[in-house]
Each structure stands twice: as structure tokens, then as C-alpha cells.
């Protein structure tokens, strides 16, 4: 019997993991993976990020869906906080990233980007931790520049740690995204120093623009500032047709939100992309 993907990965990464990785991840169906860590069942879902003009998908944000016994969903922030306090955050984060990557491989197209969130407590450990994740990415023949490391705007206040982490991620070839941007507009001036590849606007900006004409008018100016700093803008948190119209008016190229698509597991995207490929083939 041939080895599973997880067994092969475990052999390649044995020294780095310092654990039997097969006890945390399993293949439920061909190319569909789930995880288990300290009683929490772990699953991945993916929300697409699309262009504004033709609704083409440029990539997916991977999101964790933990539960207790696969029956009681719990908030990812609660699980991360619990494990941070109990110890084992580095290993847990490594398991989550690998879970996302394995599930992403099942449906990804060659040009797709994978957006993965980073826990703030792990920025100070980016040297060793980043090296291991880079090796995991390489082990699955995924170009590193197709992976986008997503950092929340709140990270910007930790300048020294952030600068070190950014250098490390960039030296390894990862792209950078700043998410939830706009909650603290005092950080706009730091964009010229950070030069992220993507900036994801905080959903509060969009919601405020719906009810406040002044905010709606200033939104395109914020987008223009980010463009001048060299970043592409993703308007996230789009939940209505009105918000979508404001996002289109803002001048941002990319969109993300429930009004466009909910986060869905890998199997959903695999089936949907398969149907799309069949339609394209039939139209020839």
C-alpha cells in the first residue's frame, strides 16, 4: 500500500515537527483532510477573493472551523486563546496551516493565491516557525509566492517585531496582506514603509459608508492612498448589494464577502470548479 500524503510529509518534516504528525491530521476522503488537537475537531473552509469587473477568482482565504466532537462549533479565537494559555500554540498553528494547505491543493487552480492568517503571538517566533511552514509549502510543490501571509492592522503597533517578521516572510518569498485595515487610520502613513502586497479594508468602513455619505466619499481616497503605497485593495465584509455597489465605486480591484460567496469546504469548490470545467469543455 502506498504511503498517504500525511505519512510522506511526516517523514520529510520529522525533525521539525518533533511529533508524530499523523496523529493530528487524517484523510477523510481522497484529498479531503480534517484535524484533531486536544479534543477540538478541525476543518478548513475557503472564501474566494474576486476581481470587481469580471468576478474572476484570484485566490481564497483559508478559515478554521473548529468544533467539539464535530457537533458543537466553537469560535476559532476561543480555541487559539485556550491553546495559547495552555501551551502548544506553535504546533497548533502549524497543524492548522498544513490542514489548510492540504485541502487547498484539492481544488486550487494554478494561478490561485492562498491567504493564511497569522496569530500575533507567533510573530516573535517567525524565524523557526516560518522556516518549517516554508518547507511544508515546498514539500507540496506550491510556489511560495502563491501564499499570502495575512496580518491584522492591530499588528502595526508592534513595529520592531513586525519589521523583523516582514523581512523574514519576504526573504522566504511569501506575499503580505494587511487585513481589517481602516479601524485605525493613523496607520495609513506606515503603509509606505511596510509596502504590503494586499490591504484588506475593515468591514466597519464599508458598513459606515452605507449610512454616512462623508465616509462613502472618502473611501476612494483611502483606496487611492493604498494604491500609491504599492498595495492592491481587497474590500472585505461585503454583505449586501448596496455594500457591493460602494465597493465597486471605491476603485478597489478585489472583493470578498458573504454577498459574493460564503466560506465553503474544499469539496464544495472542487465540485463547483469541476462543473465549470465541464461546461467550458462542452462549449468547445
Cα dihedral 133/75/88/161 (nearest 10)? 60
pTM over 0.85: yes
Give me the pLDDT at residue 135, please: 83
Dihedral sign of CA atoms 57, 59, 65, 70 in order: positive
Query: Comparing 19-23, 69-73, 196-200, 241-245, which segment has the lowest mean pLDDT?
Result: 19-23
Dihedral sign of CA atoms 236, 239, 242, 248 in order: positive
Domain harbouring 77, CATH code: 3.20.20.450
pLDDT digits (tens, 9 = 90+) for 257-269: 999 999 999 999 9
Cβ partners under 8 Å of residue 181, min gap 6: 153, 187, 199, 200, 201, 202, 226
The C-alpha cell 461585503 sits at 238
Cβ partners under 8 Å of residue 203, min gap 6: 180, 236, 237, 239, 257
Dihedral sign of CA atoms 219, 220, 224, 227 in order: positive
Q: What is the mean pLDDT of the chain?
A: 85
Please tell me the total count of domains within the chain.
1
Distances in Å between the Cα of 281 and the Cα atoms of 56, 274, 275 are 18, 11, 10
pLDDT digits (tens, 9 = 90+) for 117-176: 988 888 777 766 667 788 888 888 889 999 999 988 777 777 777 888 888 888 889 999
Domain residues for 10? 5-282
Give me the pLDDT at residue 76, please: 93
Whole-number Å distance between alpha carbons of 146 and 21: 24
**Is 278's pLDDT higher than 50?**
no
**Is 35's pLDDT higher than 90?**
yes
Region of 67 please: left (phi>0), alpha (psi -120 to 50) or beta. beta
Amino acid at each position: 500500500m502506498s504511503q498517504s500524503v500525511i505519512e510522506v510529509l511526516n517523514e520529510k518534516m520529522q525533525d521539525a515537527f518533533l511529533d508524530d504528525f499523523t496523529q493530528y491530521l487524517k484523510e477523510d476522503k481522497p484529498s479531503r483532510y480534517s484535524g484533531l488537537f486536544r479534543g477540538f475537531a478541525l476543518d478548513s473552509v475557503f472564501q474566494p477573493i474576486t476581481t470587481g469587473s469580471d468576478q474572476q477568482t484570484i485566490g481564497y482565504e483559508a478559515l478554521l472551523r473548529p468544533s467539539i466532537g464535530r457537533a458543537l462549533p466553537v469560535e476559532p479565537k476561543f480555541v487559539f486563546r485556550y491553546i495559547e494559555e495552555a501551551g502548544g500554540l506553535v504546533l497548533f498553528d502549524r497543524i492548522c496551516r498544513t490542514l489548510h494547505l492540504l485541502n487547498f491543493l484539492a481544488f486550487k487552480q494554478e494561478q490561485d493565491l492562498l491567504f493564511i492568517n497569522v496569530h500575533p503571538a507567533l510573530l516573535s517566533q517567525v524565524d523557526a516557525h516560518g522556516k518549517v511552514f516554508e518547507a511544508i509549502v515546498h514539500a507540496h510543490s506550491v510556489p511560495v509566492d502563491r501564499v499570502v501571509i495575512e496580518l491584522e492592522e492591530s499588528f502595526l503597533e508592534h513595529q520592531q517585531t513586525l519589521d523583523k517578521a516582514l523581512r523574514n516572510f519576504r526573504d522566504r518569498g511569501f506575499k503580505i496582506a494587511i487585513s481589517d485595515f481602516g479601524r485605525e487610520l493613523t496607520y495609513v502613513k506606515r503603509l509606505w514603509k511596510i509596502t504590503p502586497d494586499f490591504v484588506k479594508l475593515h468591514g466597519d468602513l464599508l458598513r459606515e459608508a452605507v449610512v454616512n455619505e462623508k465616509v462613502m466619499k472618502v473611501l476612494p481616497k483611502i483606496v487611492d492612498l493604498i494604491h500609491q503605497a504599492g498595495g492592491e485593495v481587497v474590500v472585505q465584509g461585503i454583505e449586501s448589494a448596496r455594500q457591493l455597489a460602494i465597493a465597486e465605486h471605491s476603485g478597489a480591484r478585489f472583493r470578498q464577502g458573504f454577498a459574493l460567496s460564503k466560506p465553503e469546504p474544499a469539496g464544495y469548490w472542487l465540485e463547483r470548479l469541476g462543473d465549470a470545467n465541464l461546461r467550458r469543455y462542452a462549449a468547445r
